[in-house]
């Protein structure tokens, strides 16, 4: 199956840690929607047959800022040009405070069946530091309203290792998060992306970054807390209850195909990755001229493809040895297993039904393990 991602590049306010492409000028909804509909047509026209889709994800930006009537136009176009399966997972990212009960009920009517709320923290001081525009009460009310609108698949995003964050504040956010009983929680360490205002303030010495030892301690506390409250970790930063993994993200982590629409969006089709221009004006101008807004693309070599399957598989719910065998042959499986055996005494790995996955201990040092395995494989991959 194939996924479909749409980047909606509008925000009321751009948080100073965010590196995703977005615009705070909200006057361009109509022009953007026209362009997006055109891109969907142009890319669908390039396909030999009607593509079968089983996940749709609206990200951004803040997709929930888009008026419902325009959101419905976009979905009408998707359902017209793609074969969207009846059991598809269809996700809308929302900022707390941007969705009313009426909007949520319209989302259900349109076909959206999963919501992802960018909560980030339940601490007032941390929300202020992160420049979030919603309050704790609005976050709680948004989730409760979604349940009232009969959404049974709700995710919340949270951030840890925020400067000034104490263990007590972290535990308080965790408690408030699980009290809402979301089906999915994504928990990320605050990243200092080059070029962001956060990064510039860090370089200027205005912000003191949480040290790596404290960051690791926070991460371990989060894993233990969520596990104790019935959440299964299935990726470095993602946890689920009721088995409701984010199926769309699994397309990325399993090396599967997906379309990307909108400015800055990425797609991956037929072993080729492409990315759109990260500029709304350029994006609109190209599509007004009936041109696909692709800025660049790359065809993955067998070595690149193999490395990505290893790296992404370890970050997520495991490396599928049958997939490695089918794509690269049994020798690749043997070489991979020889590298993994180097860590056999460290309790980093689980193996079940030909799937190699990380333990909690392994997730704690995922990047280090991945780099060492890939380095060990490098000569044979060449």
DSSP string, 294-352: EEEEEEPPHHHHHHHHHHHHHHTT-EEHHHHHHHH-HHHHHHHHHHHGGGGGGT-EEEE
Domain 2-252 = CATH 3.20.20.70: yes
Domain covering 302-381, topology = Arc Repressor Mutant, subunit A (1.10.10)
Question: Closest Cα to residue 180, out of 157, 149, 151, 156?
Answer: 156
What is residue 260's predicted lDDT score, i.e. its pLDDT?
98
Tell me the pairing of strands 349-352 and 355-358.
Answer: antiparallel
Question: Closest Cα to residue 221, out of 157, 156, 171, 182?
Answer: 171
SS3 label, residue 378: helix
What is residue 344's predicted lDDT score, i.e. its pLDDT?
75
Cα distances (Å, whole numbers) of residue 364 to 343, 344, 347? 14, 16, 12
CB atoms within 10 A of CB 22: 21
61 φ/ψ angles, rounded to the nearest 5 degrees: 60, -170
DSSP secondary-structure letter at 205?
T
Can you give the residue ranges of every domain in the chain? 2-252, 302-381
* Residues listed for the chain: 382
Q: 134 is written with which tokens?
A: 């919603």
Q: What's the rounded Cα separation, in Å, for the pair 274 and 267?
A: 5
Q: 19 is written with which tokens?
A: 């590196």
CB atoms within 10 A of CB 27: 8
What is residue 219's predicted lDDT score, i.e. its pLDDT?
97
Cα distances (Å, whole numbers) of residue 15 to 18, 61, 187, 194, 297? 6, 10, 17, 14, 29
Q: What is the mean pLDDT of each run of 10 residues along the chain (382 residues)?
A: 96 94 94 98 97 97 96 98 98 95 97 98 97 95 97 98 96 98 98 96 96 96 98 97 96 96 98 98 98 98 93 94 94 92 87 92 93 84 56
Q: What's the rounded Cα separation, in Å, for the pair 4 and 135?
A: 31
């Amino acid at each position: 199956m194939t996924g479909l991602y749409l980047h909606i590049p509008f925000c009321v306010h751009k948080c100073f840690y965010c590196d995703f492409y977005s615009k705070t000028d909200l006057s361009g909804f109509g022009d953007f929607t026209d362009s997006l509909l055109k891109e969907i047509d142009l890319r669908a026209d390039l396909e030999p047959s009607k593509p079968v889709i089983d996940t749709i994800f609206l990200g951004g930006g803040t997709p929930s800022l888009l008026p419902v009537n325009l959101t419905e136009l976009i979905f009408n176009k998707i359902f017209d040009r793609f074969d969207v399966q009846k059991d598809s997972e269809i996700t809308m990212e929302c900022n707390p405070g941007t969705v009313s009960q009426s909007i949520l009920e319209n989302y259900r009517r349109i076909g959206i069946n999963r919501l992802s709320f960018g909560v980030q923290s339940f601490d007032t001081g941390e929300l202020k530091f992160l420049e979030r525009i919603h309050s704790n009460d609005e976050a709680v009310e948004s989730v409760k309203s979604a349940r009232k609108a009969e959404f049974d698949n709700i995710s919340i995003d949270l951030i840890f290792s925020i400067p000034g964050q104490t263990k007590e504040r972290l535990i308080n956010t965790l408690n408030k998060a699980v009290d809402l009983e979301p089906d999915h929680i994504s928990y990320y360490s605050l990243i200092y992306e080059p070029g962001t205002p956060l990064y510039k303030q860090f370089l200027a010495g205005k912000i003191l970054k949480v040290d790596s030892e404290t960051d690791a301690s926070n991460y371990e506390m989060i894993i233990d807390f969520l596990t104790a409250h019935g959440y299964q970790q299935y990726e470095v930063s993602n946890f689920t209850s009721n088995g409701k993994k984010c199926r769309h993200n699994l397309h990325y982590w399993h090396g599967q195909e997906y379309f990307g629409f909108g400015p800055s969006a990425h797609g991956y089709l037929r072993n080729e990755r492409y990315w759109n221009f990260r500029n709304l004006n350029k994006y609109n101008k190209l599509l007004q001229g009936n041109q696909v807004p692709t800025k660049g693309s790359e065809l993955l070599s067998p070595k690149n493809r193999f490395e990505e399957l290893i790296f992404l598989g370890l970050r997520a719910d495991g490396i599928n040895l049958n997939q490695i065998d089918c794509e690269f042959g049994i020798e690749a499986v043997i070489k991979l297993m020889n590298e993994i055996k180097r860590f056999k005494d460290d309790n980093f790995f689980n193996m079940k039904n030909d799937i190699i996955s990380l333990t909690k201990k392994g997730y704690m040092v995922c990047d280090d393990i991945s780099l060492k395995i890939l380095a060990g494989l490098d000569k044979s991959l060449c």
